[in-house]
Structure 1
Amino acid sequence: MSQDHVDVQQAALDEHHEDPGDLPEMRARFEHNGSPRYLLYTIKRFGFDRDHGFHLDVELVSDALEDGIETVEELLQEGHADLIDIDYISIARERAGGADIVAFHPYGRTVGGLVAPEDSDIDGLEDLSGKRIGVVRRLDKNWILTRAACREFHDFDPDETATPVEAGSKVELTRMIREGDVDAGFQFWQIIPEITETGPYENVLPVSELVQRLSKTDNKLPIAPFLTSGEYLDEQTETVRAFTDAYRDAVDKLVEDDEIWEEISEELMSYDDPEVMRAVRDGWRDMVVRDWDEDSIDGMYRLFDHLKAVAGADALGVEEIPEGTFEVDP
């Protein structure tokens, strides 16, 4: 994705950035190629933030890594953002390392899939050994879940029997897949349709299936929550609550209204292909989690414990989920 297109997306959001006036502000910083931008655009487009008494300031940023930390994480931890989303294993890892961050609402089952050429001999987990497998980073959730599933169901660890190749960003991973630098790559769900609908590639292994197999539950687990700093949550509790209300309004709109997706396709997507747009729309609707409760959190703990037992704390980068990581009812 070119910088010009990133600028176009930001301009589309800025059209709905009215003067906040005296409203409390929440600074949302999200990756320019991440699926939350569809939700954030919808909140701004229909004024759901103002409806609930706050101003959501949205800025799209790079998805690059710096010393193993994503750009959005760094912005939050350095006090330049109030709202981001990352997977809950990363939240636990950063919180265990001393970061003042709290997950306060679910986003969704933001896992991806293994994209391979259509003529590839990779059909599933058992075919990974001996292959060069692209990953954004070796600690990302797609690779950890895959390692756990391989060890649980096939008695091998692809971190040892395959060659994981870190791309450092989603954009670079797509390039590596298309140019054959890797045999296959674990790309994030929202980018997969752009690859599979426009070229000779297929999603040979949806990671969401591994989540369900490993967690042994039919409940759709919110792998990625929204998070903020503990300080912001303490000082702006009502604003955090207002965001969750605006979020639910936007989810309802995106689930029920097909026309808004046509607008999103024009404003935020880097391709003009109705089939890609519909694939992204349907994938988003399947991925998103509107709300959570204590049962959801229990399921997330069970999945974490299972991943730790199978892949080990070293693979997760954290021994346990620290107390206070989740705030179900802020």
Structure 2
Amino acid sequence: MRILKSLASAAAAALLSFAPALAETPVVRAALQLSGTVNWEADTIRHYRFDEANGFSLEVSDVAGAPAAQIALVAGQVDMIVSDWLWVARERAAGRDLVFIPYSRAVGGLMVPANGAAKALGDLKGQKIGVAGSPIDKSWLILRAYAQKVEGFDLAGSTEQVFAAPPLVYKAALDGEVQAALNFWNFGARMQAAGMRPLLTIDQATKALGLDPETPLVGYVVRGELLKTHPGLGEAIAAASRAAKEKLASDPAGFERIRSMMKAANDVEFEALKAGFLAGTPKTGAVDEQAAARMLALMTELGGADLVGDLKELPDGVFLHPGS
């Protein structure tokens, strides 16, 4: 009987000693578009418990789109969203403590029919281009800069643009309603699987402009207050993100498990989506802030105040740096 009591006392003591650690485990409330590609990673993190392995708990709620997510983050209703670092820079310049953790460098490209005559961007003069997003979409601005600085013409003035949501641009391209389409990388992968081809990728345009294609545009944006309260949390989120990508890259079962949420129409599209997602994996280490500053200057030149507000230079603290 004494042995049982001793064992019970030891178990109780162990539970009590462990309780404070559980109570202090930070919860990261993320507002993400569950219909988007980011959920492939978030779901992988939670399923394989890469959040727990790195000392935090990830809670995910659905959000209708980027503007709603940004409003929720600024209001403190959530701790983390996915957005681009240009928005983070603009918010930091306005005094809001937000930090960018690279998530993906996957960008799309300008797709044209496989049997089309276009061989270069200039061949699209006088034609109609579908563009996912708005006139200040970052990929569209990079294409405009490429046309102007490399091929010497005004892409916006020489073509007709149709700005719409990604699915609509995708459908218009396949139906032949536009002669070229600039879409998000995942819709680009679907279009290529359906028989279209890239005329010019954003990576190619970025390199031609002297920018660094390794600069990640999209990332997890976290409230700085949370990172200060829990030192090391930013690195933990980055580690969980890397672990999820490594799992998907190394274990075919990882992608098979989330195949239904990828909504691939067939095996060819499934493989294209897998390849596109993994190709966007950011390099490890600190973001090159000089390269980011060069990209910011280009975005400011073409996007103006509608894109960057009064931002003139890259503020301090935009990017998470390991050990900071």
Give TM class, smaller chain. 0.7 to 0.9
Q: Distance in 1 between matches of 2:29 and 2:98?
A: 15
2:250 to 251, 256, 260: 256
Q: Secondary structure at the match of 2:186?
A: coil
Q: Secondary structure at the match of 1:191?
A: helix
**Equivalent in the alignment of 2:26:** 24
Equivalent position amino acid for 1:194 in 2: R
CA contact (8 A) 2:106 2:277 kept: no
1:321 to 281, 291, 314: 314
CA contact (8 A) 1:92 1:321 kept: yes
Judged with a 3 Å threshold, the aligned counterparts in structure 2 of structure 1 residues 320 and 124 are, in CA distance, closer, same or farther, namely farther
CA contact (8 A) 1:132 1:163 kept: yes
Equivalent position amino acid for 2:278 in 1: R
**Equivalent in the alignment of 1:53:** 55
Equivalent position amino acid for 1:319 in 2: K
1:302 to 294, 312, 317: 294
Q: Secondary structure at the match of 2:198?
A: strand
Judged with a 3 Å threshold, the aligned counterparts in structure 2 of structure 1 residues 307 and 58 are, in CA distance, closer, same or farther, namely same
**Equivalent in the alignment of 1:138:** 135
Quick check: which one's helix share is greater?
2
1:275 Cα deviation after fit:
1.7
1:175 Cα deviation after fit:
3.1
Where do residues 1-330 of structure 1 align in structure 2 (5 Å cutoff)? 22=23, 23-63=25-65, 70-97=67-94, 99-103=96-100, 105-135=101-131, 136-167=133-164, 169-197=165-193, 199-215=194-210, 217=212, 220-266=214-260, 268-293=261-286, 296-308=288-300, 311=302, 313=304, 316-317=307-308, 318-329=311-322, 330=324
1:180 Cα deviation after fit:
3.9
Q: Distance in 2 between matches of 1:206 and 1:109?
A: 13
- Percent identical pairs in the alignment equals 27
Judged with a 3 Å threshold, the aligned counterparts in structure 2 of structure 1 residues 208 and 34 are, in CA distance, closer, same or farther, namely farther
1:177 Cα deviation after fit:
2.6
1:147 Cα deviation after fit:
1.0
1:306 Cα deviation after fit:
4.5
Deviations 1:64-119 (CA, angstroms, capped at 9, x unpaired): xxxxx63322222232322222222233234445544221x212213111123334
CA contact (8 A) 1:52 1:242 kept: yes
1:307 Cα deviation after fit:
4.8
Q: Distance in 2 between matches of 1:98 and 1:133?
A: 38
Equivalent position amino acid for 1:212 in 2: K
Deviations 1:141-197 (CA, angstroms, capped at 9, x unpaired): 110110111111012222222222221x32333233334443322111122222331
Q: Distance in 2 between matches of 1:210 and 1:292?
A: 24
- Where does structure 1 differ by over 6 angstroms across 4 or more consecutive aligned residues? none
Q: Distance in 1 between matches of 2:112 and 2:139?
A: 15
- Unmatched 5+ residue regions in structure 1? 1-20, 64-68
Please provide the CA RMSD for this pair. Answer: 2.6
1:304 Cα deviation after fit:
2.7
Deviations 1:190-221 (CA, angstroms, capped at 9, x unpaired): 22222331x3433322112112222355x622
Q: Distance in 2 between matches of 1:87 and 1:308?
A: 15
Q: Secondary structure at the match of 1:165?
A: strand
In the superposition, the TM-score normalised over structure 1's length comes to 0.80
Larger radius of gyration: 2
- Unmatched 5+ residue regions in structure 2? 1-21
Judged with a 3 Å threshold, the aligned counterparts in structure 2 of structure 1 residues 235 and 131 are, in CA distance, closer, same or farther, namely farther
Q: Distance in 1 between matches of 2:305 and 2:95?
A: 18
Q: Distance in 1 between matches of 2:134 and 2:32?
A: 18
Aligned residues: 298
CA contact (8 A) 1:30 1:60 kept: yes
1:282 Cα deviation after fit:
1.5
In the superposition, the TM-score normalised over structure 2's length comes to 0.81
